[in-house]
Amino acid sequence: MFYSQKHMLQIEGLHPPEIGHLLDLAESYVLLNRSGKAQRDLLRGRTLINLFFEDSTRTRTSFELAGKRLGADVINMSVSTSSVNKGETLLDTAWTLNAMHCDLLVVRHAQSGAPALLAQKVDAAVINAGDGTHEHPTQALLDALTIRRRKGRVEGLAVAICGDVLHSRVARSNIHLLTTLGCDVRLVGPPTLMPAEAERLGVRVFHDMKPGLEGADIVMMLRLQKERMAGGLVPSAREYFRFWGLDAEKLAYAKPDALVMHPGPMNRGVEIDSEVADDPARSLIKEQVEMGVAVRMAVLDTLSRRQARNEP
């Protein structure tokens, strides 16, 4: 077995063979899903709980579909953030889940490290579906799978991650995964949206799209939350789009066959122009969604097999 951990909490610390195993397995699920074959029974009799402390239709649905395709009993629990803002309450939740004999727990939480805390207290295998500004590991895996299928490889590619890196867990997971696989990773965005000492994560930092995108194979755009403008980090949407919004003119700084990605949901006209987002020749955005289900199936598969082996 390549993947050695009980949980899937973060990309940081994974080794290239572990990532390769997950991508290979996900690849096989892509084919299976496309062939429309009947549900497998790998997870029959197992309980998967989607525990979402933050709203996310897209990621929750993707995990739900992945679980059902593998035959699991899937339960969605949405917990309003207001009632759960203390660590103590989070642990109360953990004990409840243990009593329910949950096998696989998918967690999204606004606080960095919340899934890790749950993982210490629950019997289930925990899958981080996004925690604060820390990580979103399955998003990075699905991005890598999308890239690999279109470019034939991930290793050695030049990838520009653009926009609000400071608040992005997607960016952090991608930085770890892509640098682990030997990519040339650049971060591009205004200095006010760049995390401190980002260079020490093994990337190069640019504030100007032109040098940042030069020679890039992949341009990965990040979502700009509206509250960043209210918080004064960016003066206005029009200024943001002028300097950091991806349009055809800025995409031309990258390689002629560079591909565009976005984790969604997009702010059209803020971080990305529709002309680019909807161009089937350049945009991988729809493909990313399809890969999401396959990658989550691969993660559930891997963790449940490990669980089965360890059971007495």
Q: Work out which of 238, 248, 278, 308 binds other proteins, going by CB under 8 A.
A: 238
Window of 12-20, 75-83, 238-246, 304-312 that interacts with other proteins by CB under 8 A? 238-246
Q: Work out which of 36, 232, 256, 312 binds other proteins, going by CB under 8 A.
A: 232
Over the chain, what HEC string results? CCCCCCCECCCCCCCHHHHHHHHHHHHHHHHHHHHCCCCCCCCCCCEEEEEECCCCHHHHHHHHHHHHHCCCEEEEEECCCCCCCCHHHHHHHHHHHHHCCCCEEEEEECCCCHHHHHHHHCCCEEEEEEECCCECHHHHHHHHHHHHHHHCCCCCCEEEEECCCCCCHHHHHHHHHHHHCCCEEEEECCHHHCCCCHHHHCCEEECCHHHHHCCCCEEEECCCCCHHHHCCCCCCHHHHHHHHCECHHHHCCCCCCCEEECCCCCCECCCECHHHHCCCCCECHHHHHHHHHHHHHHHHHHHHHHHHHHCC
Minimum CB distance to other proteins, residue 69 (Å)? 45
Q: How far apart are CA 236 and CA 128, in angstroms?
A: 33
Window of 31-39, 185-193, 264-272, 304-312 that interacts with other proteins by CB under 8 A? 185-193
Nearer to other proteins, 52 or 240 (CB): 240
- Give yes or no for residue 192 binding other proteins (CB under 8 A): yes
- Give yes or no for residue 204 binding other proteins (CB under 8 A): no
Nearer to other proteins, 92 or 208 (CB): 208
- Give yes or no for residue 234 binding other proteins (CB under 8 A): yes
- Give yes or no for residue 233 binding other proteins (CB under 8 A): yes
Minimum CB distance to other proteins, residue 197 (Å)? 11
- Give yes or no for residue 212 binding other proteins (CB under 8 A): no
Minimum CB distance to other proteins, residue 236 (Å)? 5
Minimum CB distance to other proteins, residue 230 (Å)? 8
Minimum CB distance to other proteins, residue 187 (Å)? 13
Nearer to other proteins, 59 or 133 (CB): 133
Q: Work out which of 24, 123, 155, 239 binds other proteins, going by CB under 8 A.
A: 239
Window of 115-123, 134-142, 143-151, 227-235 that interacts with other proteins by CB under 8 A? 227-235
Name the residue with tokens 């059902």.
Answer: 68
Residue ranges that bind other proteins, judged by CB under 8 A: 190-192, 207-208, 232-236, 238-239, 242-243
